Amino acid sequence: MGSRHHLAALLLVLAAGCAATWPVETFEAPGAGLTARRSFAWTGGELGSVTAVNAATVTATDQHIREVVVAALVRKGYQEVPDADKPEMLVSYEVAGTRKYVTSSAPRFNTPNPDDVLMASNPQLPAASELPRERRVTEGSVIVFVADPASDQIIWRGAVTAETRSSSSEQAMHTVADMAAGIIESFPARSTGP
């Protein structure tokens, strides 16, 4: 049970279902020439969390993100190569999340009138004047980086930032991978010209 709750603070799961369209913010360095590049190497990523996450979940999430990002780049015409083959791009990611508690500003449903609660003959229900309930909100981001191996400078970056909730570690893992896939869809396809 603890592992699932810890993962919620890290993995940014949107309460609404699977196939979400994520608002992606992108940056491309001037003169990067992305579409003229042919190859890339996966360099891994980093999962940041305010709480501890078990190693198996981190490994599974890392693998899932790698699978979706590499598959999308291959579909776009780029070729994955081992690190030793000197790729033209280095691809990595970062997942970061924070958890906070906010007070709901919406009125509570079915709350009794304070005068009804104070009558001796009525059961002692919570008064409408009580403090509103707090709810846990996770806010975080998934960022995919593409760097130039020669200069080690970032030549492209895509990011999704969202306020989310989680119900299971499996759902969280798939949602983070879905965010990464949405980000890499914004990456330009390789030019097929001469």
**What domains lie within the chain, and their CATH numbers?**
2-104+136-184 (3.30.160)
Tell me, rounded to whole angstroms, the distance of Cα 33 from its chain centroid. Answer: 27
Q: What is the model's pLDDT at position 135?
A: 62
Contacts of residue 183, Cβ cutoff 8 Å, sequence gap at least 6: 22, 24, 142, 143, 144, 158, 159, 160
More confident residue, 13 or 36: 36
Three-state secondary structure call for residue 47: strand
User: Which residues on neighbouring strands pair with residue 138, listed in sequence order?
Assistant: 99, 164
Convert the pLDDT of each residue in 107-143 to its tens digit.
555 555 666 656 666 655 555 555 556 666 667 789 9
Three-state secondary structure call for residue 170: helix
Whole-model pTM: value is 0.70
